[in-house]
Amino acid sequence: MPTSAGSMGRMKRLALAVVLLLALAVPALAADHPLLVTPAWLAERVGRADVRIVDVSDAEDYVRGHIPGAVHLDLAETRAQASEGVFRVPTAEEGRRLMTQLGITPETTVVLYDDEGSLHAAWLFLVLDVLGHARVSVLDGGAQRWRAGGGAWTTSVPPAPASSSLSTPHVSAGRVAGAAWVRERLGRRDVALVEARSPEEFEGRDVRARRGGHIPGALTPDKTVVTYCQTHRRTAHTYFVLRLLGYPRVVAYPGSWAEWGNRPDLPIAR
């Protein structure tokens, strides 16, 4: 079912409201590298050889204009379907090829942006975080804020980055979860689920799988936090914000309701 602009806006506000409430209970922790960077921060680093700017907007939007030096990456190259409508993060070897293609080395600072409310950028952040890349940031406000502040904009496509030579990265298994992992932890006091869908989806009135409703579980700030939505983008967006707030134990469930809601063997709540 297609998502309207209005409902997408409500979803974003809902997810943001949840994580901002959590922020009152958990102090933000200082990171070795900023997870969220401002346009001013990035403007000082445009053109640097050790900075890779990645535009994950739609290809048509990239052609119409982008930040100077930004390379385009099709979101489809960063995900794979585990089954119909159910996405997963790349394997270690797929991740190595992706990072090699982008010319990313362990020393490269990667800055991600889009014009989709950072939903695409957050997914790529999750992918790189799972692959263990320590220097990855999301541009605060994305393309819209960059342009609104007078940031440079071009239609010139930069040369393809020189391929890097990387060993296969170590995938952080503690950053993603499957349905079995989530099911085994339902009801545990040290695990909570963050729902990133709309109220209608949560309550089972907007049904996008064989069943409507949500995964059972209560939310408190002292737990391992598992994020999920319908497929993967809102999952990653909420994952990124929780990481930004300093939560040390955040786990993404990319299969989300597209998997859970279509499996009658898994419990649901309404």
Q: Which residues are catalytic?
A: 229
Residue with tokens 């700017």: 53
Task: Answer yes or no: are the C-beta atoms of 157 and 87 closer than 8 Å.
Answer: no
Rounded to the nearest angstrom, the gap between the alpha carbon of residue 40 and the centroid of all alpha carbons in its chain is: 23
- Exposure of 25 by Cβ count < 10 A (0-12 exposed, 13-18 middle, 19+ buried)? exposed
Based on DSSP, count helices (H) and strands (E) in the chain, helices before strands: 10, 10
Number of other CB atoms surrounding residue 172 within 10 Å:
11
Residue 205: what are its φ and ψ, rounded to 5°?
Answer: -90, -25
Alpha helices, DSSP H, located in the chain: 5-23, 39-43, 59-64, 92-101, 119-130, 142-148, 179-185, 199-202, 233-244, 256-260
Long-range Cβ contacts of 180-183 (<8 Å, 24+ apart): 181/251, 182/215, 182/226, 182/228, 182/253, 182/260, 183/266, 183/267
Going by C-alpha positions, the residue among 2, 120, 111, 101 that lies closest to residue 57 is 120
Tokens of 252: 């993404």
The amino acid that residue 184 corresponds to is: E
